[in-house]
Chain A
């Protein structure tokens, strides 16, 4: 019942906020409660056991086809729940107590709905609700970006809505085909996995369905060349939405690939032509978007692009089809979720104080705002993969996994792609460090923008992200032990 509560609490809080409860207090209370419950779920979870734990069926929607609202977690989904709980706590802390336009209640209710949807998607053990909960974010995101965003917010809101709408429909078509080819009688993920093992589909069918899912999920993850919605949307979105979207919702697509596409379509996901397409696309993410990121002169757009770029590594981990690479991908998903959410939070602090994020307007900010500088530095270092922070271990494992696959007789394009992808690390360092230097180091330019230091709340918000990043940087096994059995079970 803990897992059901994780969905219900934000939903109830959203209703309460809409009905007139104090908005910021309610959403904060819901986020804290959810974080506590997540810790309780972590305590109750038995590491190393295979299969869904804390499982419960809330009610049966349809007897035929077998469609239930049921929840449960394995190591993989638990990690995603933890990520959601942390980012939504940060987002709740970062949400304002007054807004310039629109209604504050709408603001907080939307953030809560997005949180509830993400939680629901990660704890559902039914394919239908896994999909359905993710879509809960669609309308709140549209409203939030269009109403409370900055810059060219309306264009950005349309773009993200139509892109993600189309992506989720392609995904839906793929899931429908998957459901039908696995017997067409149940949406239960555990039963579908059994069906996939006992009565495997033809390899050709698998490839086509996998490609459809890859495009559908890929649009949601901003896989090259379906990425162009992401940077603009993130740059224009209000801070909590950018944090939740870049930090959590984008991971939904990756989670879907790991949890649904790979285990249910083992032959399709390893068929050479699909894999080569994926390698091409992920190199687009890393190299092409990496160069585009370097060219950015504004912090919010740079962060938006960098979050697109980093998806490439996670895809590389998935493409490796090796347990090491897959665990690395999950660690990287978690670490990237935290680091990008923190960066978008700090970006929001800078933008709301200075009214701009253009590099030319800043300089030497570390003197004015040392706490902000420290946190931003840590987040940047995490994001570019410096040792001691969680992202490093993730990237390392991804690269190891990709090379291991070759040793195991995988496709020869993979090492080539991996070697090319390694250059992305250099690019990350270039744009990350340059952004840090131009904002926080050196001398303020002409007409400098002033930014006050982080408040206590701000510091607290940053620590929500920094502590796990450091902890996992030194002890990645805390997370890997949780994930490894689940991935091993899913991927044989």
Chain B
């Protein structure tokens, strides 16, 4: 009798143990990531958001021997057909590189089971399916604001943006706070080119000409492709001004210090997605995918470009001091993503300065 019972127990164990082991290996031994795709709304040559994302992923892919598939100029319409094509092609991970894809990509991941990375949507994070990258660049924009307030000769600085997405809003608020904390007497101008005018270079140029005419000699521009319209407005102004008041530009995301814009570049708020993309691929390999990665001053996901043109030692010392203050927690930089809240914030800053 005991023999039959023992045999039954052993038989059950013989069936159950391999099942548990197989099930277990199914979770942890996912095949290594070998194909990653990135979708960008605009051209990968815009030396801005889109190019920085693609270039970084390509570099990460080369370093790790991962094949990278790039889908550019996808626009802001429904990208589900593109996602489906990529899934059919067998990519392991899709990076949806625009705040405008916040909804469609998590929905696709839920329905088709392909892991995706979204931008500025931590609420969508789901284990094994959706990870989020947060570009909290307001801290570095604050430092740019400190530099602008110290370097302006006219006492007026301006922000020109090609839209009001969260990424731009974070930086506008940080920059404005940096200016106000450094010198409340500096006039701050804010101008929006259009609702999603990321490639509207002609309008960017007109808007920049307007803020220059209003007295700004430092322009903090966030535009992607439209940025070149801002740069051309400044180049033409500086050429016409001769020895007169020169306008300088603060750029975002990509490094233009080797471009035609180098001679007017004061600094830049640089984004580096290397840490974020590497982390997501590692997570996917390890079966722990589904986190929020915040690019910030501390992990150098965002940093300030060393000024390509001459800036006083005193200014650089004040910027370094402010950076240390942020890292030590002595300076708190507001994180404002909503356009309405940003408007109220800027109004309050202006009233405070007055």
Do chains A and B interact in one complex? Answer: no
Chain A residues with a Cβ under 8 A of chain B: none
